[in-house]
Each structure stands twice: as C-alpha cells, then as structure tokens.
Amino acid sequence: MGYKRTLMDDAKDELFAHMQRCKVPGATEEDVREWMNDTRQFLADRYPKLTEAQLAALEMIGRRYAQPVIPHGKDATARNRDDWESEAEMAHPDAPEDNTDLTDVTDESDSSELQTA
C-alpha cells in the first residue's frame, strides 16, 4: 500500500520548489524574513486546512533551508571550505561559534568494544 502523502508533504514540496524558483537560499536574512512572511500567508491561503503549528513548522523549515550551515550548490566543496566558511562568518558575525569537539565521541559504558576516533 505504501506511504500516503499528507497535506503537509504537499505544502513542504511546494515551499522548497518556490524557494528554488525565487533563489531564496543564500539571500540576506532581511530578504528571507520578508519572503517567508509573504510565503507563509500564501501557504495559509493555498492550504487552509494547515494548522498554525504546521505553518510555523513550514516557516522554520524554510528559514533553515534558506540559510544552511553548508552552502547549497557546486561551489561549496571540501577544497574551498575555508573560503565559504569565512564568507558565512562575515555574513553572520553574531552567529554563535560551534565549539563542539566530535573527535572523541565514545561510549565509556562498554570499554570492551574497539573505540575509534
């Protein structure tokens, strides 16, 4: 029988397609905010059965997609990571730094397993 698509699935797909057509990913925060406000109203009108919580979730998903941690597209590669990270830092100077050290994530409850870093 398979998965039955929901109204939320359709709205999310339309949101992503609309974001790509309008070239929203990578836009300034102010432009994204304005665009998302308009688009949220559009989605509410187009999908009147969506709840406020679902519309809020779509807005959050859209904002995350618009300002990804790793940039979209072929220009963001491991070879030029320093460049696009520097650009992101300059574009968002108030963003908190991620100081999480993931090099030694081990489960100390079972020391008999081989631990790799």
Share of the chain above pLDDT 70, in %: 68
Share of the chain above pLDDT 90, in %: 39
Tell me the pTM: 0.58
Cα dihedral sign, 20-54-51-3 = positive
Give the Cβ contact number of residue 11 at 10 Å: 21
pLDDT digit string, tens, across residues 65-88 = 887 666 666 676 777 777 767 776
Question: Domain map of the chain by residue range?
Answer: 7-71
Question: At 78, which helix (H) or strand (E)?
Answer: none
The predicted pLDDT at position 70 comes to 64
Residues 6+ apart with CB under 8 A from 36: 59, 62, 63, 66
pLDDT digit string, tens, across residues 31-76 = 889 999 999 999 999 999 999 999 999 999 998 888 766 666 667 6
DSSP letter assigned to residue 8: H
